[in-house]
Amino acid sequence: MLDRHGLRVEPVAMHFKDLLAADTPATTLRSCGNDLLRWWRFHLCPLRVWVPAASL
């Protein structure tokens, strides 16, 4: 996974190296990668608007 500057995100790269070394199925790698990518994009999204919860 690359950050917005095109640099590799080291913790993610190390995680995938560990998964590959453990002979993890390709489907698990893909699923994990997609989950991380969605999380990463969510946290980088500048248009997030947080609406505090209120009791009714």
Asked if residue 19 is part of any domain, the answer here is: yes
**pLDDT number for residue 53:** 77
Distance CA 51, CA 9 (A): 30
C-alpha 36/C-alpha 39 separation (Å) is: 5
Domain membership of residue 53 (yes or no) is no
pLDDT of residue 48: 64
Confirm whether 20 is domain-assigned: yes
Full residue range of the structural domain in which residue 39 is found: 10-44
Residue 33 within any structural domain of the chain: yes
What does the pLDDT read at residue 20? 92
Q: How many domains does the chain have?
A: 1
The torsion angle over the Cα atoms of residues 32, 33, 36 and 38, rounded to 10 degrees, is -110
Whole-model pTM above 0.85?
Answer: no
Asked whether residue 52 is domain-assigned, the answer is: no
**Looking at the domain assignment, is residue 50 inside a domain?**
no
C-alpha distances in Å from residue 47, one per residue of 33, 34, 36, 43: 23, 21, 19, 10
User: Average pLDDT by consecutive 10-residue portion of the chain (56 residues)?
Assistant: 85 91 92 88 73 75
